[in-house]
Amino acid sequence: MERWALVSGLRGDLDLYEQIQADIKKQRGAAHLFVLGDMISPNRNCDALLTRLRRPKRSDLQPNCIYGWWEEQLLVDYGYRGDQKPDVRNKPDGATTMQHLREAVSQDHLNWLASLQFGFIELDCGLIHGSSADVGDPLQETTSPLILLDRLTRLDVNRLFTARSGRQFRLQLTGGQIHSKVKDHAGEEQRDQAVPKRTVIGIGSGENYTLYDPASDRVEFLSVAVRSRRSNLGFG
Amino acid sequence: MAHAVISCLHANLAAFQAVLDDIDQQGIKTITCLGDLVGYGPQPNEVVELVRQRAIPTCQGCWDEDIIDGLNACECSYPSQLAERRGHHAHHWTADRLTDDNKAFLAQLPTTLRRDKLLFVHGSPNSQHEYLLPDMNAFAALERVETAGAETLFCGHTHQPYVRELSGGSIRVSVQQRGNEQASEQEMTLPMRRIVNAGSVGEPRHGSTKATYVVHDDNTGDVSIREVDYDVAKTCRAIVEAGLPDVFAWRLSHGFEYAERAEDASHVCER
Amino acid sequence: MQQIWLITGPPGCGKTNWIRETLLNHGGTCAYLRLDGSTKEGLELGHNAGIDQSWLRDQIPQLQDLSDPAPSSQLSSDDHLVLIEAQQFSAPTPSAEGLDPQITQQLQQFNLTPDRTLHFGVDPELPKQDTLDFTKLEAWHLDLQGCVWDPNSLSSFWFELVNGAYGDVYRAKALMNMPDGRSFFCNWMVSQSGSQFLPLQSVVPPTGRPNRPSHLVIQGKGLIPAGIRSTINDCLLSDDVLELQQAPLREQQPNLQPTLPTPA
């Protein structure tokens, strides 16, 4: 079985993407690339990266993309999600940020972004930008285990790969239980429920990415050296 | 001190009056309502006006929300075309009949109410459409209460009353961070929390035609589920006289829900 | 040697079921005819909508339908068995000479004379069923040719129907079409526990509305036809919805083409 490369937070940086592609090739056995959202940002023109993701070079590992927080802001702003207003517009510089984001992404890419899924379910693993509760859910290793377990339960997966927080971590639920007592008109029932053996993996963001081997369940946290200095990251 | 929690009145005046009589007879002064004042039943204005007259703190139910916002429930809500058609018919009938004043009242209802460590919601703290069933994953149930910062969560929406206590819980984790070879072990002890479902006053689905609600004692923590007989035939006559489908009267008189809900109650509407 | 048997009995006693079993066990060729039956004051017959014929021919493809005017190309074997079914409320009395005159008249139209007659509740050869004693019975029926049901809606409607939402229904039977091309024989009798939902063996491709018999026949008291019609209307799929449900099924069978107009 081949390894997965999990990437997020490219934010329009085609150089970074090419570096990561090259780095992955140096690792052995990585054949599946998942890009978990935040491919765009308001801080640079994203068209070149989006074009490359949509039409990969022959030498590229084919990317499988889902939408993330920034994509959601853009799609909401363009009306793809009904009458909602994007969260960004509630912030002090929200209008300016949204204007930059619109300028950073050609409308040619909108339909493609709108066609992306919320997440992938592969081999009992959930691959998602935030969580199924919210695309902006910043799950990290310090998040309450009760919340992490809830997010795993919502997707009904054994492993949840998340990118929103930008953190790289592996948190395994190793034990525990709870007692439930239910009383209704028919009587009373009691039962114990054990914590299932499940895992949440933060895959990182930007230059930090993750390799995962489904066969051995091994996780490797990696980074590429960033060639150019990146400017102010702005919101998110 | 004892207080009563009622839910899902569904425009059933006779049932609502019977429940209020039952509450009054016990000398209970504090009542909280978990929404769905209207929907399917024949007396939406009368029920809303009685809630307003009695000044009962109320949170907004899914039906109340749909009357204000318009029908945009996701397709998952109804398991069949028949249920969907009946639901939509009831929605339009109710929206046509509710006065603007009563609609304005429903529009300003909060989605949650809080009193000390008690939280009152229609469906769940996340959504008016999420069902908290008595057999849902216990950890997920605890998460709903704990994340909302409550000790006891009162909910409705399912029309089946129950009291669920979640106790003795713990979760152990092993955390590996980037750069650390060693994983750290941690244990989280979970607090005891409760979910109390008030059932339904106007459209019971627990296998009987009796209206249900709950009484909770703040001091002792005791919760009792109350069942109240009411003149079902009176509401059935009102259904027919109001021009609602006769089959609604048949369903109510047999203790069936007006329209079936989707089987996958764990599904949370994404809208 | 050809044998012609007449099977009579009140509604829902199990005539068609017994006939089906007998025909399946019969080695030679066979034929079937359902007569309109014998009425009695206050007791309306269930409409002879072809439900039983369609069901039996689906189960026994070689069965010759004597009500079909087109002559059968099949030759009769030496042990050709003809079973004739007729609804008859009251059992023939021992003193009565011959058959009920209404049934005799119907038989004459087909030029048939039974070699033997069996009546449910009288003849020990037939299974003992709880046959109800009817004093008053109304009948109602609806042609559902070309109609396709939302399957979950059918379950709800049928539940309501047999549990009294539309009057006291003693007997209900139907052939109902599903969007995936299947058809179901739905059968209920108040004296039996539970309904039967039996899929027909023949399945038509999901390419629009099927051209096959579909009908609902009900007998009972205090029936509410307006309520039944209203609910059925809410259960049936429109062209648009039918196409939405059938298109993905056809994708799995690439050679099929839709017959409905494409929704705008």
Q: How confident is the model at residue B136 (pLDDT cuts 50, 70, 90)?
A: very high
Paired tokens of B119: 């939280």
Residue-level pLDDT at C93: 64
Question: pLDDT exceeding 70 applies to what percent of chain C?
Answer: 87
pLDDT digits (tens, 9 = 90+) for B224-240: 999 999 999 999 999 99
Quote the CA–CA distance of C214 and A147 in Å, as a whole number. Answer: 53
> Do chain B and chain A touch with ≥3 beta carbon pairs under 8 Å?
yes
Contacts of A93 (CB under 8 A, 6+ apart): A235
One-letter amino acid identity for C257?
Q
Question: Looking at CA atoms only, how far is residue C173 from chain B in angstroms?
Answer: 20
pLDDT at B268 over 50: no
List, in order of start, the domains of chain B with CATH numbers.
2-165+192-253 (3.60.21.10)
The pLDDT assigned to C94 comes to 58
Is B205 in contact with B259 (CB distance < 8 Å)? no
Of C150, C166, C227, the CB nearest to B81: C150
Whether A183 and B142 lie within 8 Å, measured CB to CB: no
Cβ-based neighbour number of residue C22 at 10 Å: 14
Residues found in chain A: 236
Instruction: Give the separation between CA B228 and CA B212, rounded to whole angstroms.
Output: 6
Could you tell me if B184 and B215 are in contact, meaning their C-beta atoms sit under 8 angstroms apart? no
Q: Please give the residue of chain C at the shortest CA–CA distance from B259.
A: C156
**What distance in Å separates the CA atoms of residue A153 and residue A149, rounded to the nearest whole number?**
6
Dist CA A133 CA A130 (whole Å): 8
Q: For residues C117 and C128, what is the distance between their CA atoms, to the nearest angstrom? A: 16
> How far is it, in rounded angstroms, from Cα A17 to Cα B21?
69
- How far is Cα of residue C83 from the mean position of the Cα atoms in its chain? 15
A99 Cβ neighbours under 8 A, 6+ residues apart: none
Domain spans in chain C, listed from the N-terminal domain onward = 3-119, 138-251
Query: What are the chain B neighbours of A133 within 8 Å (beta carbons)?
Result: 126
Q: Which of C169, C178, C234, C244 is the best residue to mutate to test the B interface, defined by the most B CB atoms within 10 Å of its own CB? A: C234
Instruction: Check CB contact under 8 Å for B82 and C153.
Output: yes
Interchain contact, B82 vs C224, CB within 8 Å: no
Return the pLDDT at C190: 85
Residue ranges of B 65-84 with Cβ closer than 8 A to chain C: 79-83
**Phi/psi of residue A146, each to 5°?**
-65, -40
Query: Which one of C150, C158, C236 makes the best mutation probe of the B interface by having the most chain B beta carbons within 10 Å?
Result: C150
Residue B269: its pLDDT value, please? 40
By C-alpha distance, the chain A residue nearest B166 is A180
Amino acid letter for position A38: D
- A199-203 vs A30-36, strand pairing mode: unpaired
What pLDDT does residue B270 have?
Answer: 39
Amino acid (one-letter) located at C170: Y
Note the pLDDT tens digit of each residue in B11-65.
999 999 999 999 999 999 999 999 999 999 999 999 999 999 999 999 999 999 9
| Minimal-distance CA residue of chain A relative to B184 | A171
Q: Which of B258, B270, B21 has its CA nearest to residue B159?
A: B258
Instruction: Please count the residue pairs, one from chain A and one from chain B, whose beta carbons lie less than 8 angstroms apart.
Output: 126
The tens digit of pLDDT for each residue in A80-96 reads 988 888 999 889 999 99
Q: How many CB atoms lie within 10 A of CB C67?
A: 13
The confidence score (pLDDT) of residue C46 equals 79
Closest CA to B262 of B130, B92, B109, B118: B130
* Sequence-ordered alpha helix ranges (H) in B98-183: 100-107, 138-147
pLDDT for position C130: 56
- Residues 6 or more apart from C11 whose CB is under 8 A from it? C46, C87, C134, C137, C170, C171, C189, C219
**Residues B14 and B24: beta-carbon distance below 8 Å:** no
Interface probe for B, chosen from C152, C158, C228 (most Cβ of B below 10 Å), is: C152
A143 pLDDT more than 90? yes
CATH of region C3-119: 3.40.50
What residue in B sits closest to C149 (Cα-Cα)?
B81
CA distance B263 to A147: 25
Which region among A106-120, A160-174, B152-166, C42-56 has the lowest average model confidence (pLDDT)? C42-56
- Return the pLDDT at C40: 78
Chain C positions touching B81 (Cβ under 8 A) are: 150, 152-153, 234-235, 237, 241
Nearest chain A Cα distance for residue B225, angstroms: 7
Query: What's the pLDDT score for residue C101?
Result: 85
What would the pLDDT profile of B240-262 be if each residue is shown by its tens digit? 999 999 999 999 999 988 887 76
Q: Are B188 and A202 in contact (CB under 8 A)?
A: no
Q: In chain B, positions 217-246, which contact chain C (CB-CB < 8 Å)? A: 245-246
Whether A146 sits inside 8 A of B188 (CB atoms) is yes
Whole-angstrom distance, CA of residue B217 vs CA of residue A198: 39
Task: Domain C138-251: give its CATH code.
Answer: 3.30.1220.10
CB of B250 within 8 Å of any CB in chain C? yes
Q: Which of C165, C166, C231 is opposite residue B82, by nearest beta carbon?
A: C231
Give, in degrees to the nearest 5, the angle at Cα B147 between B142 and B151.
60
Strands (E) in chain C, as ranges, are 3-9, 30-34, 64-65, 81-87, 116-119, 138-143, 168-177, 183-189, 196-199, 215-221
Per-residue confidence (pLDDT) for residue A235, from 0 to 100: 42
Nearest to B51 by CA among B65, B68, B66, B32: B32
Chain C nearest-CA residue for B263:
C152
Q: Which sequence spans correspond to the domains of chain A? A: 3-223
Query: At what angle are helices B44-53 and B13-25 packed, to 10 degrees?
Result: 20
**List of chain A residues whose C-beta atoms are within 8 Å of the C-beta of residue B126:** 133
Residue B18 contacts residue B211 (beta carbons within 8 Å): yes
Do residues A212 and A201 touch, judged by C-beta distance below 8 A?
A: yes
Chain A residues closer than 8 Å to B176 by CB: 169-171, 219
Per-residue confidence at A233, pLDDT binned at 50, 70, 90? very low
Q: Could you give the CA distance from residue B182 to residue B188 in angstroms, rounded to a whole number?
A: 20
pLDDT score at C131: 55
Distance from CA of B215 to the nearest CA of A (A): 13
Kindly write down the DSSP assignment for every residue of A108-128, as one continuous string.
Answer: GGHHHHHHSBSEEEETTEEEE
User: Token digits for A69?
Assistant: 């927080």
b/e map of A205-236 (b: 16 or more CB within 10 Å)?
bbbbbbbbebeeeebebbebeeeeeeeeebbb
Map residue B254 onto helix, strand or coil: coil
Beta carbons within 8 Å of A114's beta carbon, 6+ residues apart: A75, A80
Q: How high is the mean pLDDT of chain A?
A: 92
pLDDT at C133: 61
Predicted local distance difference test score (pLDDT) of residue C146 = 95
- A170 interaction partners in chain B (CB closer than 8 Å): 175-176, 183
Residues in chain C predicted with pLDDT less than 70, given as ranges, are 70-78, 92-97, 129-134, 254, 256-257, 259-264
What DSSP line would sit under C49-99, residue for residue? -SHHHHHHHHHSTT-EETT-SSPP-SPP-TT-EEEEEEEBSSPPPTT--SS
Q: Would you give the end-to-end CA distance of chain C in angstroms? A: 61
Q: C177 CA to chain B: closest CA distance, Å?
A: 15
Nearest to C230 among B245, B250, B254 (CB): B245
Query: Using the beta-carbon criterion (under 8 Å), do B246 and C224 form an inter-chain contact?
Result: yes
Q: Is B255 on the interface with C (CB under 8 A)?
A: no
Q: For chain A, where are the alpha helices, taking DSSP H only?
A: 14-26, 47-54, 69-77, 94-104, 110-115, 145-155
Could you tell me the two tokens for B50? 């009685």
Q: Is B261 on the interface with C (CB under 8 A)?
A: no
Contact status, residue B125 vs residue B148, Cβ threshold 8 Å: yes
Is CATH 3.40.50.300 the classification given to domain A3-223? no
pLDDT score for C260 = 59
